[in-house]
Amino acid sequence: MKLFLDTADAAEIRELAATGLVDGVTTNPSLAAKTGRDYSESLKEICSIVSGSVSAEVLATDFDGMLKEGRAAAKIAPNIYVKVPSTWEGMKACRALTDGGARVNVTLCFSPLQAMMAAKAGAAFISPFIGRVDDIGEDGMGLIRDIRAIYDNYGFKTEILAASIRSVSHVREAALAGADISTIPADIFKKLMSHPLTDKGLAAFAADAKKANVTIKV
Ligand code: E4P
């Protein structure tokens, strides 16, 4: 599974990219607003840190506006993916941008049929929002499983990008459900390697080595 960071904060991305395990980044207007910076400038910096895909979301909701913004965003760097919403206008923009050579991430996906339409419109990524589906008392992970089944039934190549991740368990479950990618907030990404038994085991090894003066010559 590919792991993306779900943030527009370049400093956060720089810190975690040093792990060598960040395959890409997703941003959206709310995440961009949190940085207080110019969105295009942030995207340029993020693309210089990460060589994998960096998703940039359009603000327009009409076809012409999405096309203009999408084309402009795609020019920021070769690894930009343009995010458009799961609407009819979004589907038209997805097809036009894809035909023009851009890669498109269809976002705000809440139903398997929206995901099927996005795949038919040529989307590179579909972003089902697990956490927001759970928030309204429905089954976010079930959405990932349904999309996986539909894509596999018909051989759609669109990658399933599990979004709106709220916990480490979401990442594990999305991997088990067959999502191709999880996009993860930095605080949750940092917890992916945590386990109390690893810490306990390390402390015991260190104590035993100290007692018997076990070393590795360097
Ligand atoms: C990712 O592309 C989305 O923008 C993001 O995961 C939304 O998450 P939220 O529901 O926590 O805002």
CATH number at residue 196: 3.20.20.70
Percent of the chain with pLDDT over 90: 100
Judged on CB neighbours under 10 Å (0-12, 13-18, 19+), 171 is buried
Give the per-residue SS3 of the chain.
CEEEEECCCHHHHHHHHCCCCCCEEECCHHHHHHHCCCHHHHHHHHHHHCCCCEEEECCCCCHHHHHHHHHHHHCCCCCEEEEEECCHHHHHHHHHHHHCCCEEEEEEECCHHHHHHHHHCCCCEEEEEHHHHHHCCCCHHHHHHHHHHHHHHHCCCCEEEEECCCCHHHHHHHHHCCCCEEEECHHHHHCCCCCHHHHHHHHHHHHHHHHHCCCCCC
Q: Provide the sign of the torsion angle of the four alpha carbons 59, 26, 72, 111, taken in this order.
A: negative
196 lies in some domain: yes
Domain boundaries, position 138: 2-212
Residue 218 lies in a domain: no
pLDDT score, position 115: 98
pLDDT single digits (tens) 143-174: 999 999 999 999 999 999 999 999 999 999 99
Q: How sure is the predictor about 138, in pLDDT bands with cuts at 50, 70 and 90?
A: very high
CB 96 within 8 A of CB 67: yes
- Please tell me the predicted confidence (pLDDT) of residue 100: 98
In a domain, 58, yes or no: yes
Q: How far is the CA of 185 from the centre of ligand 1 (A)?
A: 9
Q: How far apart are CA 17 and CA 51, in angstroms?
A: 10
Q: State which of 25, 109, 129 you would mutate to test the pocket of ligand 1, scoring each by most atoms of that ligand within 8 A of its C-beta.
A: 129
* 9 domain residue, yes or no: yes
Question: How high is the pLDDT of residue 48?
Answer: 97
Judge whether 112 lies within some domain.
yes
pLDDT in the model for residue 169:
97
Residue 132 CB–ligand 1 contact under 6 Å? yes
Residue 114: the pLDDT is 98
Q: Is the CB of 163 under 6 A from ligand 1?
A: yes
| Residue bearing the CA closest to ligand 1, atom 12 | 164
Domain-located, residue 217: no
Is 120 annotated as catalytic? no
| Mutation to probe ligand 1, out of 23, 28, 54, 184 (largest number of atoms < 8 A from CB) | 28
Average pLDDT across the chain, whole number: 98
User: How many domains does the structure of the chain reveal?
Assistant: 1
| Residue 43: per-residue pLDDT | 98
pLDDT tens-digit map of 38-89? 999 999 999 999 999 999 999 999 999 999 999 999 999 999 999 999 999 9
The predicted structure's pLDDT at residue 148: 98
pLDDT score, position 216: 96
